[in-house]
Amino acid sequence: MELTDGVISLRPIRMRDHAWWVKVKEENLDWLAPWEVTYPSISGTPPTPRQMIRSWKKDARAGRSENYIISKDGERVGFIALGGIAYGPSRNAFIGYWIIQRAANAGLVTRAVRLVRDHAFADLQLHRIEINVRPENQPSIRVAMKAGFELEGKRSKYLHIDGDWRDHLCFVATRM
């Protein structure tokens, strides 16, 4: 499924995005590294980009995640995921995202978050969506707040980011 608001478009990631992914991650390494997930030594070897895409596609087919390329004017500028989709009594998920540095601060991620949030509530009938952000990541905190997510609280040592377990702030949106 593709999503658009007339300014940006989101389309499911494909295997042919692999070369682009590797290139932009390398070009934006310093920009993204402080916020990127890393793998503690007990987790084994981190997956390659090709393995990640394959895994995301498998999860998408099973209804556990949706992973999109963010594009503006036909150019790929970022990535957004609706992950950890759970149905049953909780009906929840989380959103994660990144954008290339030269496309930052233009409101594109906020637009992408709104599109994914609205899709999750209207089409998937989810009830609750979280965005977990490192307290130091002020731009991402602004994204969550501008997209209508409310601060719920702190998650201590929540994710392994940039080589260590990092605290996160949890922002939540619930369906009306």
Spatial contact of 168 and 158, defined as CB atoms under 8 Å apart: yes
Q: What are 129-166's pLDDT values in tens digits?
A: 999 999 999 999 999 999 999 999 999 999 999 889 99
pLDDT at 103 over 80: yes
pLDDT at 176 over 80: no
- Tokens at 70, concatenated: 């963010």
Alpha-helix residue ranges (DSSP H) falling in 39-166: 49-61, 108-122, 138-146
**Measured CA angle at 99 (ends 97, 104), to 5 deg:** 125
The residue type at 88: G
Q: What are 26-85's pLDDT values in tens digits?
A: 999 999 999 998 888 777 788 888 898 999 999 999 999 999 999 999 999 999 999 999
Q: Token pair 């556990």 is at which residue? A: 64
Stretch 119-127: mean pLDDT, rounded?
Answer: 98
pLDDT at 94 over 80: yes
Number of H helices, E strands in the chain: 5, 8
Q: How far is CA 60 from its chain centroid?
A: 14
Q: What CA–CA distance (Å, rounded) separates 124 from 12? A: 16
What pLDDT, on a 0 to 100 scale, did the predictor assign at position 7? 96
Q: What CA–CA distance (Å, rounded) separates 52 from 46? A: 9
